[in-house]
Amino acid sequence: MHTRNVNYAVQLATLDDMPEIVQIDDDSTTLYATADVVIALAPDHPFFTIDEQRRWARSASLGRLFMAVDERGQRVGFAAVDLVDGEPYLDQLSVRRQAMRKGAGRLLLRQAIACVASLETPSPTHALEAWRRG
119 lies in some domain: yes
Q: What is the pLDDT of residues 53-64, one digit of tens each?
A: 999 999 999 999
Cα–Cα dist 92/94, whole Å: 6
Total count of domains within the chain: 1
How high is the pLDDT of residue 59? 97
4 lies in some domain: no
27 lies in some domain: yes
2 lies in some domain: no
The CATH code of the domain that includes 81 is 3.40.630.30
121 lies in some domain: yes
Q: Which residues, including other chains, have CB under 8 Å from residue 7's CB and lie 6 or more apart? A: 70, 71
Q: What is the pLDDT of residues 65-115, one digit of tens each?
A: 999 999 999 999 999 999 888 889 999 999 999 999 999 999 999 999 999
Task: With CA atoms as reference, report the closest residue to 78 among 24, 27, 117.
Answer: 24
Residues of the domain holding 25:
10-133
